[in-house]
């Protein structure tokens, strides 16, 4: 390479990387994805800005001979970028998300595809010409594909930046975008094959070779990649040979598809898509490839695309009108298709709208597709400029409109709710008597339906004998020896819950329960209680000491024959303990065999003011069905006992006077327990009451007030 | 059939029917004749004739003559004569241009197009296209 060529190239790359970084940072500052700034940087370096305001400088910085070199670097960048996109594609998502994801994905492709193709009826006689690759069919299919694309990486970045990736909405959007990716690249491969094929026979040869290539990738290359993964697992991350092999395979696959006639990008994408998806191996490859590709090669691609973007071609109102039409059609097709499909799938309008907005993000992937179209001669320069503006506009509008549809406060509440619902709920269950096991296991199953979102630690403690306490002997505790523990493990196992047994000999059972809960970062200590309420405390006051001493929420089950299916009543007066009770039944409400009713007792004439006490509880925050009753009664305890007739379990937040020996569970709790024969679950929130008074984290401040005002 | 099943198969059927209708409707459409490229005059009655370039986006064209500012012209009309030749009328920036496209079966290879200029620039050129339409990196359009 001639020294001056190298100097020019290095200067160009320096400029491109510097401007790209600056614009990306500025975009991030104003709440936009960085890709918007990077795309703008590319356009700024092209004829649309630099070439317009300083043509001589532009001609010096980007002389025609250097463009081919930039093009090669840009193409290599896009090849590895598409490999990374394929790598991120997890086909299990498509299989696991169910029908809603399938239908939304499908409609979010079909609607913009048809609208893009229909728009071509209007654009074709105006901004296309009868060039060799611009026949109507090829152009209509290309425009359809260009309209229906979603930028998977930009979408993922927006979801992460907004904290949406762990919500059902985020998961659905990612799934649909992944499906879109696969479908859009397949469509484009078809369009390219159609555009390049000169006659039926070459077209059929391309299709045949593509089928052979795909078969080779799935049946020969994929097993090879699995062996590479195995090799990596054995040798570790220091092995550069594996990485070199992956690079070689990427280039080979890209070259194969280029030779077949369906563009080099497909080879890279497919190789990424069939790579083994074990997280360690995936991280190993991604970490080594992503930085160089995204920070170095992609900005060069943006610049190359920018050099080919001539906004100046749109120099009259007619062309700007057409540009507006293209943007409108793109938004209507993508947003409308996703929105309607999501609504039809039973998704709330706000989330449907958010999904539509997210799917409308096109970003970099659109730019890749448009560059292919321009290189193939399927679109003209003016159409390229229009579509680049559309890609920029749809990407830039995503975040602000998402903010508008999904305000930050509401989003935070949703995320908090989701995190609460999906969190690995940990329960420590101390057990000594086998007869407690069934009831406790039932409550565990109710709190973590299916056992999928919970973890149960079965704690079998044996009181140390005097000899053991004095250290004379300290035998290993045999897990099997505790009848209670054995019974609990059997009962949880019967309900599909894997309980982790913990057994040891304890000098101070109450203290060790609290310590075990702390060590396991438990959310709840769930204990049984069988003694008569007004008698002496059982376990030598263990329950009382756990209630007063543990720094974890505590629930005490008084099992009076609780069945597998049960109806739960939660008296609610707004204390922190009542709120804990409501948060627990919110988990239970997801269980199909459990029906939940929240009872808010208010003084006569105050039912309409019940918002003050029950603000924040709304039906929608419950995963299953729930009834909320507001009753007026002078005596809250009488009202609860009166209403509790049909119920199997009352979950009762402890009164604030709990802990006083004369009212072991508090006056209210003890009266209800004494006057009602069913099972009870007493709950106690662990934090000091002063801090609990301001604990609004669990409650949705923006939610509407109590919805069901069915006074009884 | 469930609602999701109806949606699924309905959308597939809709896509097929819709695409068929669009392609059928579009098969009758004609895009403007491709004029973009580098043109070399083979016969001219204008002095100082040099190769010129045309950038085309459908009905919107830019003619770049020598180092002068590109001339923006728009597609006005297009007529086909009995022999199959095409006459294209372009207009813009006080300039009228008529382009006579020889019939497809013209014996010339490459075929020579006749450009008739009326306005600020007057004269007639016969020119042949020697290269593809120049892309952004090789031409400035402002």
Per DSSP, the residues of A657-682 read TTTBTTBTT-HHHHHHHHH--SEEEE
Q: A476 touching B, CB under 8 A?
A: no
Q: Which two tokens stand for residue A466?
A: 């005097």
Distance between CA atoms of A90 and A88, rounded to whole angstroms? Answer: 6
Distance between CA atoms of A383 and A167, rounded to whole angstroms? Answer: 38
CB contact under 8 A, B137 and A67: yes
In this prediction the ipTM stands at 0.86
Residue B52 backbone dihedrals phi, psi, to 5 degrees: -130, 160
Q: Which residue in A has a C-alpha nearest to residue B32's C-alpha?
A: A129
Please, what's the b/e burial string for B70-92 (b: 16 or more CB within 10 A of its CB; e: otherwise)? bbbbebeebeeeeeeebebbbbb
Measure in Å the smallest separation between the Cα of A65 and chain B Cα atoms.
10
List pLDDT tens digits, range A659-685.
434 445 556 667 777 778 888 898 888
Q: Which two tokens stand for residue A570?
A: 């939660």
For A124, the closest of B31, B33, B72 (CB atoms) is: B31
Measure in Å the smallest separation between the Cα of B88 and chain A Cα atoms.
13
CA A68 to chain centre: 41
Q: Which residues of B touch A382 (CB under 8 A)?
A: 57-58, 60
A649: helix, coil or strand?
Answer: strand
Q: Which residues of A touch B34 (CB under 8 A)?
A: 129-131, 134
Beta-carbon count within 10 A of A151 CB: 29
CA A347 to chain centre: 16
| CA nearest to A388, candidates A35, A73, A105, A117 | A35
Distance between CA atoms of A139 and A569, rounded to whole angstroms? Answer: 64
> Any idea which architecture A3-406 has in CATH?
Up-down Bundle (1.20)
Q: CATH fold of A560-712, please?
A: Rossmann fold (3.40.50)
Q: In terms of C-beta density within 10 A (0-12 exposed, 13-18 middle, 19 or more buried), how is residue A514 classed?
A: buried
Q: Choose the mutation target among B3, B14, B32, B60 for the interface with A, i.e. most A CBs under 10 Å.
A: B60
Q: Which residue in B has a C-alpha nearest to residue A135's C-alpha?
A: B31
pLDDT of residue A593: 79
Q: A121 touching B, CB under 8 A?
A: yes
Beta strands across the sheet bearing A649-653: A499-506, A454-463, A425-430, A524-528, A553-558, A679-684, A649-653, A566-572, A594-602, A626-632
Which residues belong to CATH 1.20.1530.20 in chain A?
3-406
Which residues belong to CATH 3.40.50.620 in chain A?
424-556, 560-712
Which residues 6+ apart lie within 8 Å of A614 measured at CB? A572, A574, A598, A600, A628, A630, A705, A706
- DSSP H/E element including A650: strand A649-653
Beta-carbon count within 10 A of B102 CB: 17
| CA nearest to A547, candidates A533, A567, A527 | A527
Q: Choose the mutation target among B11, B31, B74, B91 for the interface with A, i.e. most A CBs under 10 Å.
A: B31
pLDDT of residue A125: 93
DSSP state of A278: -
pLDDT of residue B122: 82
Distance between CA atoms of B74 and B67, rounded to whole angstroms? Answer: 21
Which residues of chain A are under the pLDDT cut of 70?
1-3, 90-99, 160-161, 163, 165-166, 197-200, 236-239, 278-279, 412, 414-423, 449-453, 463-481, 530-540, 606-625, 634-635, 655-669, 687-712
Phi/psi-derived region of residue A340, left when phi > 0, alpha when psi is between -120 and 50, beta in every other case: alpha
For B43-78, give the DSSP string.
EESSTT---EEEEEETTEEEEEETTSPPEEEEEEEE
Measure in Å the smallest separation between the Cα of B26 and chain A Cα atoms.
6
pLDDT of residue B45: 65
Q: Which two tokens stand for residue A711?
A: 């006074």
For A447-496, give the DSSP string.
HSGGGTTEEEEEEEEEEPPHHHHTTS--PPPPGGG-HHHHHHHHHHHHTT
Q: Which residues of A touch B29 (CB under 8 A)?
A: 121, 124-125, 136
pLDDT of residue A655: 64
pLDDT of residue A89: 73
Q: Which residues of A touch B36 (CB under 8 A)?
A: 129, 131
Q: B26 touching A, CB under 8 A?
A: yes
Q: How far is CA A220 from CA A83, A227, A231, A412, in A?
A: 18, 11, 17, 47
Cβ atoms A502, A517 nearer than 8 A? no
Q: What is the pTM of this model?
A: 0.65
Strands B52-57 and A454-463: unpaired
pLDDT of residue A475: 44
pLDDT of residue B106: 65
CB contact under 8 A, B19 and A117: yes
Phi/psi-derived region of residue A215, left when phi > 0, alpha when psi is between -120 and 50, beta in every other case: alpha
Cβ atoms B112, B128 nearer than 8 A? yes
What is Dmax (Cα atoms) for chain A?
A: 99
Distance between CA atoms of A191 and A266, rounded to whole angstroms? Answer: 13
DSSP state of A654: P
Q: What is the 3-state secondary structure (H, E, C) of B105-118?
A: CCCCCCCEEEEEEE
Rg of the Cα atoms in chain B: 21
CATH code for A424-556? 3.40.50.620
Strands A679-684 and B112-119: unpaired
CA dihedral angle for residue A36, residue A42, residue A45, residue A47, rounded to 10 degrees: -100
């Amino acid at each position: 390479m001639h020294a001056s060529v190298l100097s020019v190239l290095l200067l160009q790359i320096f400029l491109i990387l510097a401007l790209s970084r600056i614009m990306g940072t500025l975009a991030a500052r104003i709440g936009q994805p960085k890709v918007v700034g990077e795309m703008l940087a590319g356009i700024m370096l092209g004829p649309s800005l630099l070439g317009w305001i300083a043509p001589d400088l532009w001609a010096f910085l980007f002389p025609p001979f250097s463009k081919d070199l930039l093009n090669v670097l840009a193409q290599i960048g896009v090849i590895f970028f598409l490999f990374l996109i394929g790598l991120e594609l997890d086909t299990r998502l498509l299989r696991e998300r169910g029908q809603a994801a399938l239908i939304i994905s499908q409609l979010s492709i079909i609607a913009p595809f048809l609208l893009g193709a229909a728009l071509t009826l209007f654009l074709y006689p105006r901004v296309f010409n009868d060039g060799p690759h611009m026949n109507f069919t090829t152009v209509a299919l290309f425009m359809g594909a260009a309209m229906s694309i979603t930028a998977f990486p930009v979408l993922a970045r927006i979801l992460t930046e907004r904290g949406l990736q762990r919500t059902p909405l985020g998961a659905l959007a990612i799934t649909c975008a992944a499906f879109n990716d696969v479908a859009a690249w397949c469509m484009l491969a078809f369009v390219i094959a159609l555009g390049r094929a000169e006659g039926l026979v070459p077209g059929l040869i391309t299709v045949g070779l593509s089928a052979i290539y795909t078969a080779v990738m799935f049946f020969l290359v994929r097993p090879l990649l699995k062996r590479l993964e195995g090799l990596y697992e054995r040798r570790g991350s220091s092995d550069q040979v594996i990485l070199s092999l992956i690079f070689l395979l990427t280039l080979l696959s890209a070259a194969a598809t280029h030779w077949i006639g369906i563009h080099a990008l497909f080879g890279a994408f497919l190789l990424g898509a069939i790579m083994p998806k074990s997280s360690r191996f995936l991280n190993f490859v991604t970490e080594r490839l992503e930085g160089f590709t995204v920070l170095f090669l992609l900005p060069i691609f943006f610049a190359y695309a920018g050099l080919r973007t001539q906004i100046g071609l749109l120099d009259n109102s007619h062309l700007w009108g057409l540009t507006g039409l293209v943007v409108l059609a793109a938004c209507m097709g993508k947003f409308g298709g996703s929105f309607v499909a999501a609504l039809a799938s039973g998704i709330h309008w706000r989330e449907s709208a958010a999904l539509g907005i997210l799917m409308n993000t096109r970003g970099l992937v659109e730019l890749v597709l448009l560059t292919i179209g321009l290189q193939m001669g399927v679109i003209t320069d003016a159409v390229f400029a229009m579509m680049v503006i559309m890609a920029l506009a749809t990407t830039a509008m995503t975040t602000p409109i998402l903010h508008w549809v999904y305000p930050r406060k509401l989003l935070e509440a949703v995320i908090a709710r989701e995190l609460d619902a999906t969190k690995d709920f940990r329960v420590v269950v101390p057990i000594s008597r086998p007869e407690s096991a069934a009831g406790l296991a039932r409550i565990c199953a109710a709190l973590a339906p299916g056992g999928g979102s919970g973890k149960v630690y079965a704690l079998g403690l044996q009181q140390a004998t005097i000899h053991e306490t004095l250290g004379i002997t300290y035998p290993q505790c045999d897990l099997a020896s505790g009848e209670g523990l054995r019974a609990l493990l059997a009962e949880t196992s019967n309900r599909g819950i894997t309980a982790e047994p913990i057994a040891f000999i304890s000098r101070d059972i109450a203290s060790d329960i609290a310590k075990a809960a702390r060590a396991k970062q438990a959310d709840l200590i769930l204990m049984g209680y069988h003694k008569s309420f007004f008698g002496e405390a059982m376990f030598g006051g263990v329950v009382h000491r756990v209630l007063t001493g543990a720094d974890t929420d505590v629930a005490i089950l008084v099992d009076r024959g609780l069945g597998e299916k049960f109806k739960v009543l939660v008296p609610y007066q707004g204390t922190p303990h009542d709120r804990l009770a409501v948060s627990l039944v919110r988990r239970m409400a997801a269980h199909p065999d459990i029906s939940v009713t929240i009872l808010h007792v208010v003084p006569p004439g105050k039912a309409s003011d019940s918002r003050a006490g029950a603000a924040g509880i709304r039906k929608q925050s419950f995963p299953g069905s729930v009834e909320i009753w507001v009753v007026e009664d002078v005596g809250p305890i009488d009202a609860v006992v009166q209403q509790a007739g049909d119920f199997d379990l009352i979950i009762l937040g402890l009164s604030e006077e709990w802990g006083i020996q004369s009212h072991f569970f508090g006056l209210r709790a003890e009266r209800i327990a004494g006057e009602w024969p069913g099972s009870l679950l007493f709950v106690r929130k662990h934090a000091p009451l002063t801090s609990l008074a301001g604990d609004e984290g669990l409650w949705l401040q923006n939610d509407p007030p109590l919805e069901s005002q069915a006074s009884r | 059939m469930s609602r999701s099943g109806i949606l699924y198969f309905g959308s597939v059927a809709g896509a097929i029917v819709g695409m068929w209708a669009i392609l059928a409707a579009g098969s009758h459409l004609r895009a403007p004749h491709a004029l973009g490229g580098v043109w070399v005059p083979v016969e001219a009655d204008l002095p100082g004739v040099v190769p010129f370039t045309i950038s085309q986006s459908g009905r919107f064209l830019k003619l770049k003559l020598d180092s002068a500012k590109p001339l923006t012209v728009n597609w006005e009309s297009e007529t086909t004569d009995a022999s199959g030749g095409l006459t294209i009328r372009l207009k813009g920036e006080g300039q009228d241009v008529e382009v006579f496209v020889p019939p497809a079966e013209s014996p010339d290879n490459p075929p020579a197009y006749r450009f008739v200029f009326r306005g600020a620039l007057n004269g007639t050129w016969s020119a042949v296209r020697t290269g593809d339409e120049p892309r952004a990196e090789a031409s400035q359009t402002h």
